[in-house]
Structure 1
Amino acid sequence: MQIKKHIPNCITLLNLFCGCIAVVFAVNGKLEYAALFAVLGIGFDFFDGLAARVLNVQSDLGLQLDSLADMVTSGLVPGIVMYHLLSQVVGAPFHDVTDSWGSNETFKEIGISYLSLLGLLVTLASAYRLAKFNIDTRQTTSFIGLPTPANTLLIISLPLILKFQQQLWISEIILNIWFLIGVTILSCYLLNAEIRLFSLKFKTWGLKENVTRYIFLILTIILIAVLQFVAIPLVILMYILLSLVFKDK
């Protein structure tokens, strides 16, 4: 038995493990810790594919396992985070329902807002996007629709901005019910939109064939250095715009 063929799958399972921890933190309202483990999971998601290519051990099992792990880290986590943000705005924080099990109480009575359930649409849209990705032969060298890890970074950046960049005008924007609903709808659309987006995978290091990637990486570094977490939504927007402008590159 070749040990090396199991290395990428083990890395994928680390992605799933981080995603599970992120879910636990998100459910308990510790969104900054949920974001941390989601980012770790996304990092493992990048390296499992890299390891598979370097070791030349790509497999159908690895493809399916990768999507299952992404469904947790980049599907369930952002949905719960958005649910929690919407709950904060409508005044219905996460409620411990364990004492209410079997008591026939309604969602309202146990502190769950129907409106905040809209956040879970992100999870549904992510599942649909991942299922499409597995059977879409057009996405071997680029993406069609926003990848779930990028969408997750967009959503988890919101509580990080609120936590670490406490400026009143920013908080007023993010904690606006219409803004959060708009981000939710936009997120669901972008995940499954017929928009071709470039991949960050480098096949060579040449400037001509990677001009879009180099521009993106340089601008990303500058934006993060200047704006910190506020830069993340701007980076996602820039990623989409550069893909549209340099779609033939």
Structure 2
Amino acid sequence: MNKYIPNALTLLNLFCGSIAVIFAVNNNFVTAALFVFLGIFFDFFDGFAARKLNVQSALGVQLDSLADLVTSGLVPGIVMYKLLELSDRSWTAINFINDSSLSFREISLFPLFGLAITLASAYRLAKFNIDEEQQTYFKGLPTPANTLLIIALPLIIEFQNSDAINTIILNKWFLIVVTILSCYLLNSNIKLFALKFKDYSFKNNGTRYIFILLCLVLLIVLQFAAIPIIILLYIFMSVLDNLTSK
């Protein structure tokens, strides 16, 4: 029975991601984000459960990546597409026939650039599956962390109530730069520490404990605006940890 628990959690991740896709397509970013958070929660605990129950399997690894491709690959791509669409209504559009009503539906072309995040996520997940080095660290930004970065943008618009910040986020060039940066970070060779604890001593996990503490402080003070800062902090602390370990 125990061997089915991690895969069940992975499928719950996929289920939440699928629901998030539906809400993201319909511009309901808040509810989409809620299901993304749930999906990432299940994604974290499926691996944790597999290790604790000692039931890791090749099937579980493949299933985990397939679920991540939806929750942490397709959803952020759709969110970026929608943000790019909102940023400038003058994008060139093409018409597609809607078979059910024989009417035409316009689809903007350039916002499709946002789906580069989905492609980069798929490439990263494929590389991760065949990379035997990434057991104690990540090479490049993990897809869930990248998803939090992207999904935070509409949440900041919704809840921070700052015209200056909203103007920046809905600037098409800002979104293009974020998309390119996201794709690069996903497939970069930067070594980033994993939040996996072999023991709970501060000596072996000092960087992790300091990072978690700073995350809590930033979230309390800045709310959703803290998420992009946390991602940058994660990269900075990882690079610093790599330099000091040498």
- What TM-score do the two structures reach when normalised by structure 2? 0.94
Deviations 1:150-205 (A, max 9, x none): 00000000000001111011101100011000000000000000100000011111
Identity of aligned residues (%): 62
Aligned pair count reads: 242
Deviations 1:136-155 (A, max 9, x none): 01101100000000000000
Q: Equivalent residue for 2:240?
A: 245
Q: Equivalent residue for 1:34?
A: 32
Q: Equivalent residue for 1:197?
A: 192
Contact 2:218 2:226 in 1 (8 A): yes
Task: Verify: 1:81 aligned to 2:79, yes or no.
Answer: yes
Q: Equivalent residue for 1:218?
A: 213
Contact 1:82 1:120 in 2 (8 A): yes
Instruction: Specify whether residues 89 and 156 from structure 1 end up closer, same or farther in structure 2 by C-alpha distance, changes over 3 A only.
Output: same
3-state SS in 1 of match to 2:233: helix
- What TM-score do the two structures reach when normalised by structure 1? 0.93
3-state SS in 2 of match to 1:62: helix
Superposed CA RMSD in Å reads 2.0
Contact 2:96 2:105 in 1 (8 A): no
Q: 2:129 aligns with which of 124, 128, 134?
A: 134
Deviating beyond 3 angstroms after TM superposition, the runs of 4 or more aligned structure 1 residues are 101-105
Q: 1:67 aligns with which of 44, 65, 90?
A: 65
Q: In the TM superposition, what is the alpha-carbon distance from 1:98 to its structure 2 partner?
A: 8.8
3-state SS in 2 of match to 1:202: coil
Write the letter of the residue equivalent to 2:218. L
Q: Equivalent residue for 2:8?
A: 10
Partner Cα separation in structure 2 for residue 112 and residue 239 of structure 1: 36
Q: Which has the higher strand share?
A: 2
Q: 1:168 aligns with which of 159, 163, 168?
A: 163
Partner Cα separation in structure 2 for residue 196 and residue 104 of structure 1: 52
3-state SS in 2 of match to 1:21: helix
Q: Equivalent residue for 1:55?
A: 53
Partner Cα separation in structure 2 for residue 5 and residue 211 of structure 1: 33
Instruction: Specify whether residues 104 and 134 from structure 1 end up closer, same or farther in structure 2 by C-alpha distance, changes over 3 A only.
Output: farther
Partner Cα separation in structure 1 for residue 181 and residue 75 of structure 2: 17
Contact 1:15 1:73 in 2 (8 A): yes
Structure 1 unaligned regions, length at least 5: none
3-state SS in 1 of match to 2:133: helix
Partner Cα separation in structure 2 for residue 164 and residue 171 of structure 1: 10
3-state SS in 2 of match to 1:211: helix
Partner Cα separation in structure 2 for residue 174 and residue 46 of structure 1: 29
Partner Cα separation in structure 1 for residue 201 and residue 82 of structure 2: 44
Q: In the TM superposition, what is the alpha-carbon distance from 1:110 to its structure 2 partner?
A: 2.8
Instruction: Specify whether residues 189 and 237 from structure 1 end up closer, same or farther in structure 2 by C-alpha distance, changes over 3 A only.
Output: same
Write the letter of the residue equivalent to 1:220. C
Q: In the TM superposition, what is the alpha-carbon distance from 1:111 to its structure 2 partner?
A: 2.7
3-state SS in 2 of match to 1:111: strand
Partner Cα separation in structure 2 for residue 11 and residue 243 of structure 1: 29
Task: Verify: 1:144 aligned to 2:139, yes or no.
Answer: yes
Q: In the TM superposition, what is the alpha-carbon distance from 1:104 to its structure 2 partner?
A: 9.4
Partner Cα separation in structure 2 for residue 190 and residue 7 of structure 1: 32
Write the letter of the residue equivalent to 2:177. G
3-state SS in 2 of match to 1:197: strand
Partner Cα separation in structure 2 for residue 46 and residue 98 of structure 1: 39
Partner Cα separation in structure 2 for residue 92 and residue 138 of structure 1: 46
3-state SS in 1 of match to 2:138: strand
Matches within 5 A, 1:90-101: 90-91=88-89, 100-101=98-99
